[in-house]
Amino acid sequence: MTIAPQSPTEVAPSDLVTVSVDGIEVRVPKGMLVIRVAELMGIEIPRFCDHPLLDPVAACRACLIEIEGQAKPQPACAIAVTDGMIVRTQRTSLMADAAQEGVMEFLLLNHPLDCPVCDKGGECPLQNQAMTTGRPTSRFEEEKRTFEKPINVSAQILLDRERCVSCARCTRFADQIAGDPMLELLERGAAQQVGIAPDQPFDSYFSGNTIQICPVGALTSSLYRFRARPFDLVSTPTTCEHCASGCSLRTDVRRGVITRRLAWDDPEVNEEWNCDKGRFAFVYTHEGRIASPLVRENGELRPASWPEALDVAARGLAAARGRAGVLTGGRLTREDAYAYAKFARVAMGTGDIDFRSRVASDEEAQFLASSVAGMPLGPTYADLDSAPVVLLVGLEPEDESPIIFLRLRRAAQKKGVRIVSLSPVRTRGIDKMDAQWWACQPGGEAIALRHILGGEKAADTLAALRQPGAVILVGERMAGVPGALSAAAELASSTGARLGWVPRRAGERGALDAGALAGLLPGGRPADDPRAREEVAAVWGVEPSSLPPGGRDGQSLMDAIVAGAQVDALLVAGVEVADHEGAEDLRRALDKVPFVVALTTHHNEVTDVADVVFPVAVVAEKAGSFTDWEGRNKPFSAAIHGAQSVADGRVLAMIADAMDVSFGSGEVVALRAELDRLGRWTGARVAAPTVAPSVPGVHGSVALATWRLLLDAGALQEGEPHLAATARPTEALMGADTARALGLAQASAVVISTDKGSIELPVRIADVVDGAVWVPMSSEGSRLLSIGARHGSAVRVTGRTA
């Protein structure tokens, strides 16, 4: 059952009408649907096709009710209330009751009634409503219609046509919400069925939502089919750990193992939707986990007891006090990131900390300090709905923040919000959002923004940005384009537009706010500001003078280590080395630093060299919170109860204890309480960066455009082949003119090369700005950082013909 979104705004009294439902008079907003009015009153009218977030179709006829003055029963899901309307539901109208019972009988005629083997059994609207509304026995004696079952509409989504009641929720979702109308009703009459075009599977990033809104068991997933009964599951509301969209999810656990995840209702964020990565990428939580602490002895890691490992770690870190660094990665909860931020300063005596295991820059650090860290909520999803214009700078929402994509698409289609995307590629996502494509050389974003600022181009965009409510969203990859974040900040401050920074990983904003970045203390406090240091020192119970100075960010630290600086220990959370722009530097640094402590869930390149490894809890095993791109904090509790694993914060507290450092318990409640006491910084901030744009490209080469696809080679997607099979192809995209100019018009594949290496990919002609090539950043067979290439890099492109 779905719940109607709460009306967020107060309705002016003049817009209210009086209607009577079952003899009870209520005043409700004019134009509200009868079925919603009844819901508000606690009167449940049966329904299948009705869904509050989809346009009404009135196809299933399950919700027929009586309206005084109408000879025939009317569908409550499609009739808007008018003043004085008198409605009688099945509770008070024989006409409505008989109509509903008749329709329910029809719906069950051809239904296989295979509830005992159906995934939906136990949580099925058809089952439930057949019990409340249907006849006790069937009068149908003819043969039921049968279909082959199930058939794949994608690698992940299975369709059982016999169970389908033709409510068209899935087809309407695909068309109206996702913009991927690959599912359609086919054939006529009783032979009507959901289907796809031949060889065009339903590979939508949002396909899993159709399973959830299917009111019967017609749509199931390869991952969950036959795995559990709903009443065997323990369900916990959670927050998605995959990206910074901040989706509320429901995690269902059976005997300590996650069996499925659903989108949960959060009208202000994800409404009732999520993406397939959030829904299906959870197999990593129980496959390949590290079981116990490990200590390196004679070059080999061996299992160790907690006390032994804690002792080794504490001694090593204590010996390196003041000469150590911390890398947290972007996937920690806000509380755990805060624990690292505090541990670094209090226990390790260092300000050398960075959460950015990706392309990053000093300019970005300054931008985050000036414009993002510790800032209050906003711009928000709701702001996107009402903005006069939304300017996307280096952000492909469908891949990088799918809920932003869904919101923008709806804002454009239902409210006419103008969207402008500054991007080297005209993507399907841009078209689906009805966005205006502003073609831009990869790496040329800063110059393009300067052109808007200078009024040389897009005067209409500049004018729109000056209107109240305008929003600029910058993507993570702008960290790698010199001057882009400076220009975006200046554009926002000069026009009054609100500026949103959209990182990809769920923990980035929380880590930033928690002070897991050199130069910043929790709450966005500048690390060199005396008052800021006093505030933090007071909460931490230390002398302000004992706090280390600002510190070096990740890349500076690596550079220093490689250059021979004295760094004696590294504390590393769940970080994939290959995700670092300077992955080679990091590898060398890890080799060079004498003592490395890793807190992680799975083995990786860091555990290959770590001296002590602590297994930590995955997100599902611990309480915490993620701060989404809006700055909204989304707390959650542990979904897997009784797990043996321990959260990072608690491990750090145990190490601190062993070091005899006063740290606190490291429990999530304690960390949260400290964060609450610290609050956000209200004092002066550093100025926004003013880096001048640099002209991209090198003569004779091609500019590389890239970002991570939603479904790629990410570590958290491991173990789920059905999900991977719905990913977009790993291919290079080029404009037709560029391909011709490079003599690649006939090429079936291209080789992209740098001084460090090359990759070969199939090539397809698409709308890509001249002189550029787009390839996925981190897909199987296309790991760009491994060849030293990033967005805006100059690369060589040569062709291969089949």
Partner 1 sequence: MTPLTPIITAHWDVPDYFTLEGYRRHGGYVALPKALGMDPDAIIGTVKDTGLRGRGGAGFPTGLKWSFVPQNDGKPHYLVVNADESEPGACKDVPIMIANPHALVEGVIISSYAIRANHAFIYIRGEVPQAIRRVATAVREAEQAGLVGDNILGSGFSLRITVHSGAGAYICGEETALLDSLEGYRGQPRLKPPFPATHGLYAVPTVVNNVETITNIPWIINNGVEWFRQFGTEKSPGFKVFSISGHVARPGIYEAPLGITMRELLDYAGGVVGGDGTVKFWIPGGSSVPMLTADHLDTPMTYEAMAEAGTMLGTGTPMVFNNTVSVVKAVTRWLEFYKHESCGKCTPCREGTYWITGVLERFEHGHGTDADMDLLVEVCGNIAGRSFCALGDAAATPYPGALKYFRDEFEAATRTPVDEAFPPAASYIFGEVAAR
Interface map 120-139 toward partner 1 (x if CB under 8 A): -------------------x
**Least distance to partner 1 from the beta carbon of 169, Å?**
14
Does 148 interact with partner 1 (rule: CB under 8 A)? Answer: no
Among 99-107, 206-214, 260-268, 472-480, the segment contacting partner 1 (CB under 8 A): 99-107
Does 103 interact with partner 1 (rule: CB under 8 A)? Answer: yes
Choose, by CB under 8 A, the member of 35, 43, 53, 59 that binds partner 1.
59
**Least distance to partner 1 from the beta carbon of 802, Å?**
36
**Least distance to partner 1 from the beta carbon of 125, Å?**
14
Does 109 interact with partner 1 (rule: CB under 8 A)? Answer: yes
**Least distance to partner 1 from the beta carbon of 243, Å?**
35
Choose, by CB under 8 A, the member of 47, 61, 172, 345 that binds partner 1.
61
Helix (H, G, I), strand (E, B) or coil at 388: coil
Of residues 62 and 590, the one with the C-beta less far from partner 1: 62
Among 71-79, 691-699, 734-742, 788-796, the segment contacting partner 1 (CB under 8 A): 71-79
Choose, by CB under 8 A, the member of 8, 69, 116, 189 that binds partner 1.
189
Of residues 115 and 185, the one with the C-beta less far from partner 1: 185
Of residues 57 and 725, the one with the C-beta less far from partner 1: 57
Q: Starting from the edge strand earliest in sequence, which strands make up the sheet with 16-21, in order?
A: 24-29, 16-21, 86-88, 64-67, 74-75
- Distance CA(224)–CA(238), nearest Å, equals 19
**Least distance to partner 1 from the beta carbon of 118, Å?**
20
Among 182-190, 236-244, 265-273, 316-324, the segment contacting partner 1 (CB under 8 A): 182-190
Contact present, 547 and 555 (Cβ < 8 Å): no
**Least distance to partner 1 from the beta carbon of 168, Å?**
8
Of residues 73 and 325, the one with the C-beta less far from partner 1: 73
Among 10-18, 70-78, 267-275, 662-670, the segment contacting partner 1 (CB under 8 A): 70-78
Helix (H) or strand (E) holding 314: helix 306-319
Of residues 187 and 460, the one with the C-beta less far from partner 1: 187
Contact present, 78 and 58 (Cβ < 8 Å): yes
Choose, by CB under 8 A, the member of 40, 57, 542, 643 that binds partner 1.
57
Does 730 interact with partner 1 (rule: CB under 8 A)? Answer: no
Q: Could you tell me which of 470, 538, 493 has the C-alpha nearest to residue 685?
A: 493
Helix (H) or strand (E) holding 64: strand 64-67
Of residues 110 and 441, the one with the C-beta less far from partner 1: 110
Does 543 interact with partner 1 (rule: CB under 8 A)? Answer: no
Of residues 105 and 385, the one with the C-beta less far from partner 1: 105
**Least distance to partner 1 from the beta carbon of 733, Å?**
29
Q: Could you tell me which of 800, 762, 802 has the C-alpha nearest to residue 779?
A: 762
Question: CA quadruple 714, 708, 405, 488: dihedral positive or negative?
Answer: positive
DSSP state of 472: E
**Least distance to partner 1 from the beta carbon of 416, Å?**
15
Tell me the DSSP string of 156-210.
Answer: SEEE-GGG-----HHHHIIIIIIS-TT-EEESSGGG-EEE--TT-----TTTHHH
Choose, by CB under 8 A, the member of 60, 283, 589, 620 that binds partner 1.
60
Among 67-75, 387-395, 622-630, 716-724, the segment contacting partner 1 (CB under 8 A): 67-75
Among 54-62, 122-130, 328-336, 789-797, the segment contacting partner 1 (CB under 8 A): 54-62
Choose, by CB under 8 A, the member of 92, 106, 149, 542 that binds partner 1.
106
Does 62 interact with partner 1 (rule: CB under 8 A)? Answer: yes
Among 95-103, 298-306, 373-381, 488-496, the segment contacting partner 1 (CB under 8 A): 95-103
In sequence order, which residues have a C-beta less than 8 Å from that of residue 441 and are 6 or more positions away?
Answer: 424, 447, 696, 697, 703, 769, 771, 772
Does 58 interact with partner 1 (rule: CB under 8 A)? Answer: yes
The pair of three-digit structure tokens given for residue 188, joined into one six-digit string: 């006529």
Contact present, 771 and 738 (Cβ < 8 Å): yes
Choose, by CB under 8 A, the member of 2, 129, 154, 166 that binds partner 1.
166
**Least distance to partner 1 from the beta carbon of 59, Å?**
5
Does 107 interact with partner 1 (rule: CB under 8 A)? Answer: yes
Among 98-106, 346-354, 416-424, 635-643, the segment contacting partner 1 (CB under 8 A): 98-106
Does 182 interact with partner 1 (rule: CB under 8 A)? Answer: no
Of residues 135 and 756, the one with the C-beta less far from partner 1: 135
- Distance CA(791)–CA(777), nearest Å, equals 8
The pair of three-digit structure tokens given for residue 278, joined into one six-digit string: 């959030």
Helix (H, G, I), strand (E, B) or coil at 139: coil
- Distance CA(66)–CA(77), nearest Å, equals 12
The pair of three-digit structure tokens given for residue 38, joined into one six-digit string: 């009844």
CA distances from 14 to 10, 32, 79, 329, 339 (A): 12, 14, 20, 53, 53
Of residues 215 and 714, the one with the C-beta less far from partner 1: 215
The pair of three-digit structure tokens given for residue 484, joined into one six-digit string: 């882009």
Choose, by CB under 8 A, the member of 143, 300, 676, 755 that binds partner 1.
143
Contact present, 243 and 331 (Cβ < 8 Å): no
* Partners of 625 in the β-ladder: 635
Does 78 interact with partner 1 (rule: CB under 8 A)? Answer: yes
Tell me the DSSP string of 332-374.
Answer: S-HHHHHHHHHHHHHTS----EE---SS--HHHHHHHHHHTTT
- Distance CA(368)–CA(230), nearest Å, equals 44
Supply φ then ψ for residue 633, to 5 degrees: -90, 130
**Least distance to partner 1 from the beta carbon of 209, Å?**
22
Choose, by CB under 8 A, the member of 184, 362, 584, 760 that binds partner 1.
184
Choose, by CB under 8 A, the member of 71, 117, 291, 802 that binds partner 1.
71
Does 154 interact with partner 1 (rule: CB under 8 A)? Answer: no
**Least distance to partner 1 from the beta carbon of 195, Å?**
12
Distance between start and end Cα atoms, the chain: 52
Expressed in percent and rounded to 5, the helix, strand and coil fractions of the chain are 35, 20, 45
Q: Under rule CB under 8 A, which residues in 191-220 are in contact with partner 1?
A: 191-192
CA distances from 220 to 99, 133, 152 (A): 30, 25, 10
Given the structure tokens 């990983």, which residue do they identify?
505
Does 185 interact with partner 1 (rule: CB under 8 A)? Answer: yes
**Least distance to partner 1 from the beta carbon of 99, Å?**
5
Interface map 316-355 toward partner 1 (x if CB under 8 A): ----------------------------------------
Helix (H) or strand (E) holding 735: none
The pair of three-digit structure tokens given for residue 658, joined into one six-digit string: 């062993």
Of residues 72 and 255, the one with the C-beta less far from partner 1: 72
Q: Could you tell me which of 343, 345, 339, 344 has the C-alpha nearest to residue 669?
A: 339
**Least distance to partner 1 from the beta carbon of 149, Å?**
19
Does 64 interact with partner 1 (rule: CB under 8 A)? Answer: yes
Choose, by CB under 8 A, the member of 11, 94, 190, 673 that binds partner 1.
190
DSSP state of 756: T
The pair of three-digit structure tokens given for residue 15, joined into one six-digit string: 């817009």
Q: Could you tell me which of 350, 588, 359 has the C-alpha nearest to residue 477?
A: 359
Give residues in contact with partner 1 (CB under 8 A): 56-62, 64, 71-73, 78, 98-99, 102-103, 105-107, 109-110, 139-143, 145, 165-166, 184-185, 187-192
